[in-house]
Amino acid sequence: MHIQFAELPVFDQERAKAFYIDHLNCRVVTDQQMSDDGWRWIELGFPGADTTLHFLRRKDETPSEGPVLVLVDNDIDVTVQRLKSRGAKIITEPRPAPWQPGRTIVEFRDSEGNHMMITSR
- CA separation for the pair 82, 20 (Å, rounded): 12
Compare 77 and 64 and report the one with higher pLDDT: 77
pLDDT of 19 higher than 60: yes
pLDDT of 107 higher than 70: yes
* Confidence band of 56 (pLDDT split at 50, 70, 90): confident
Q: How far, in whole angstroms, is CA 57 from its chain's centroid?
A: 15
Average pLDDT over residues 31-53: 90
Q: For the structural domain made of 5-120, what CATH number should be given? A: 3.10.180.10
- CA separation for the pair 116, 109 (Å, rounded): 6
Residue 94 neighbours by CB under 8 Å, 6+ apart: 76, 77, 80, 104, 105, 106
